[in-house]
Chain A
Amino acid sequence: MDNILNAFTMIADPSVLGVIIASSLFGLFVGAIPGLSATMATALLVPLTFFMDPLPAIASIVSAVAMAIFAGDIPGAMLRIPGTPASAAYVDDAYQMTLRGEAERALGIGLVSSVFGGFVGAIILTLGAPFLAEFAFQFSTVEYFWLAVLGLSCSVIISRGSPIKGLVSLLIGLFISTIGIDVTGGYPRFTFGSVDLMGGVSFIPAMIGMFAVTEILRFSMNASHQTSSAPKSNSTVYGGQWKMVRENKRHLVSGSLIGTVIGILPGAGADIAAWVAYAMAKKISRTPAKFGTGHPEGLASAGAANNAALSGVWIPALVFGIPGDSVTAIAVGVLFMKGITPGPMVFVQQADLTYAIFLTFFLSNLLLLVLGYFAIRGARFVVQTPARLLMPVILLFCIVGSFAITNSVFGIAVMLVLGVLGFLMEENGFPIAPAILGIVIGPMLEDNFMATVIKSDGGIVGFFDRPVSGALGAFTILIWVIPLVTMALRRRSQRIEAGA
């Protein structure tokens, strides 16, 4: 109880509240600009979090992302351009409503659903994470090793496009994580005599490069940077929303639960949650034919799911230190930077901080109700902010942010190299998220792997001889084997059909 009271005191600090409000406004702005994602909002915030205490640092990320995910609906509804990938699932419904003069109603449904999903996710996070942490106390290095492998495996399998390309991305990330002095052996790896490389590749410039610089390069190569205008609206933001909640309560609840569960799965996140919830809503709807024509059911379900996923994804990140998506990978990196190691001990040693982080989710969603309203009212101006004025300033911000981490130009070099690499990867169908997860989880994976090998005198038995580690190991192997077997069987049946 004391911890919860302390958490309230921590979050009531005017400086923390100020950071939350400022980050929320920033998140709303970034999310509403087509092409700038919630991950990019986080990437741009990280250089600032470097100078903050742990709570405001994490609170700024939580609030900015919650706002950005909702704000992604704004250009989706106004211009049929989803501001973030998480809004893509229901963009047709939102835009069709806009064409009918119901833009503000469509965005109001998105706002209310986001807040509903955000609260459900935050409740599950607050109740579920400490319970799981109790269980995680029994874990040793081998269980953490398997959890890390499981998280990385899911990031490959769930990533869009070819699994082989996802695996290549992950391996590149893991390779980058091995650069620098090896903690176990104390030997400098792939440093080529560079003192800067001895300390390894800092994840902040790496992440700024892979997300922000990649986006700036893509923007520079585009032919047109015109902004378009949205049709006029005759509806209101909160008008009829109570009725909408009553009529769509099962979609809101199922979307929120789907979002939270998908968020918990390593490698998945708000984008996938929105698609799955939308498909599920269509499946259980009495009027599935109306989906895609400006129907509120899909909007309610997927809108709730993408915000609920934001809370769910923090469960494995805080309890096991295994981030489930790019944003929590960045947040886990920020925690490491602040000297806090995510894991069950956080719930004992930094219980006040942990509960204060949970409270941030509730506070952000309350703020979303207020700030979201004004964002919708001012949406026309936000979506028409010329990207050609913003992008150069963002590039400068990236350069300074990368420099600030080590106060040297080495950070700028890392950002540039990985920005170009990230651009080439994305252009050719290699997803970036597995690489970022590899960079962040790589050191933890290697530490736990080496510790387990040393404990078991170099044998493989040590990886399976405890019940939980055996189960996790078997599950991870199955995750890899099942798609391969399915693929082989499908090929065989195709060959037989072709022969017949």
Chain B
Amino acid sequence: MKISDRLTGFVLLLFATAILVEASRFPLIPGLSIGSGLLPMIVASGLILCSLVLIVKDMIARPRPKLAEPGDWISDHRRLIRVAIVLLGTASFIPLLDVIGFPVLSIAMLLAFLLSLRVDVMTSVLVSVTASLAIHTLFSKVFLVPLPWGILQSVAW
């Protein structure tokens, strides 16, 4: 996904200005003219300068690059689905991990990802179940990480 430097620069400019405004409200250290906002303000100033350079360089470039190019993957539904599975599958762990539990959620995500990569159904089921249970056992039994069982709590070992 190609984004032109002028668009990136503009987004950075807004972001850095927001940091600058927020950091200017941070309290000072008693007796000194500096405080918690100093480094964020230096960072924001640097980002503002860089974003202006990016914008100007891109504006004077000939031929001027397109504002944004999504890449050929966006028009290929298989690749689009794969990217969606990676992003949404990972994001789904945030609200659903406690409710559904690690084993079911991880098997579902792996299965979807493997099938989207055109791995045959038997192999996909085998890899997703084996990998999920192996990783679950390693982290919960060896490293004592409390991975939630969720709806499988009654069969937890």
**In the complex, A51→B141 CA distance in Å?**
12
Interface majority SS (helix, strand, loop, mixed), chain B: helix
Interface: A478 (CB within 8 A) = no
Q: Which of A65-73, A90-98, A219-227, A265-273 contacts B (4 or more CB under 8 A)?
A: A219-227
B41 to chain A, nearest CB (A): 10
Closest Cβ of chain A to B16, distance in Å, is 8
Contact B29 A168 (CB under 8 A): no
A388:B117 contact, CB within 8 angstroms = yes
Query: Known contacts A185-B27, A396-B109: does B53 contact A174 (CB below 8 Å)?
Result: no
Contact between chains at B33 and A458 (CB < 8 Å)? yes
Q: A427-B2, A450-B38 known; A221 and B79 CB under 8 Å?
A: yes
Whether B135 pairs with A182 at a CB distance below 8 angstroms is no
Q: Number of B residues whose C-beta is below 8 Å from A? A: 68
A420 and B5 alpha carbons, distance in the complex (Å): 18
Query: What 1/0 flags go to A203-222 for Cβ under 8 Å of B?
Result: 00000000001001100111
Q: Mark A147-175, 1 if CB is under 8 A from B, else 0.
A: 00000000000000000110110011011
CA A397 to CA B135, docked complex, whole Å: 7
Residue from the list B40, B91, B142 in contact with A175, Cβ < 8 A: B40
Known interface pairs A403-B147, A404-B139, A424-B3. Does A389 touch B90 (Cβ–Cβ under 8 Å)?
A: no
B40 — which chain A residues lie within 8 A by C-beta? 175, 178, 189-190
B53 closest partner in A (C-beta): A164
Partner of B22, one of A190, A393, A403: A190
Tell me whether A416 is interfacial, beta carbon within 8 Å: yes
- Interchain nearest-CB distance for B125 vs A (Å): 13
User: Which A residues from 360 to 417 make CB contacts under 8 A with B?
Assistant: 388-389, 391-393, 395-397, 399-400, 403-404, 407, 409, 412-413, 415-416
Q: Are A399 and B43 in contact, with the CB atoms below 8 A?
A: no
Q: Chain A nearest CB: distance from B142 CB in Å?
A: 8
Task: Tell me, yes or no, whether A428 is within 8 Å of chain B by CB.
Answer: yes
Which residues of chain A are within 8 angstroms of B89 by Cβ–Cβ distance?
Answer: 395
Name the A residues within 8 Å of B128 (CB-CB).
392
Are A171 and B47 interface neighbours, CB within 8 A? yes
**A185-B26 in contact given A221-B71, A412-B93 (Cβ < 8 Å):** yes
Q: Which residues of B contact A225 (CB under 8 A)?
A: 117
Pick the contact of A220 from B35, B79, B93 — CB < 8 Å?
Answer: B79
Tell yes or no: A454 within 8 A of B by CB. Answer: yes
**Most chain B C-beta atoms within 10 Å of own C-beta, residue among A48, A185, A223:** A185
In the bound complex, do residue B87 and residue A389 qualify as a contact, i.e. CB atoms below 8 Å apart? no
Q: Is A400 a contact partner of B135 (Cβ separation < 8 A)?
A: yes
Interface residues of B (CB under 8 A from A): 1-3, 5, 8, 12, 19, 22-23, 26-27, 29, 32-40, 43-44, 46-47, 50-51, 53-54, 57, 71-73, 76, 79, 82-83, 85-87, 89-91, 93-94, 97-98, 102, 106, 109-110, 113-114, 117-119, 123, 127-128, 131-132, 135, 139, 142-143, 145-147
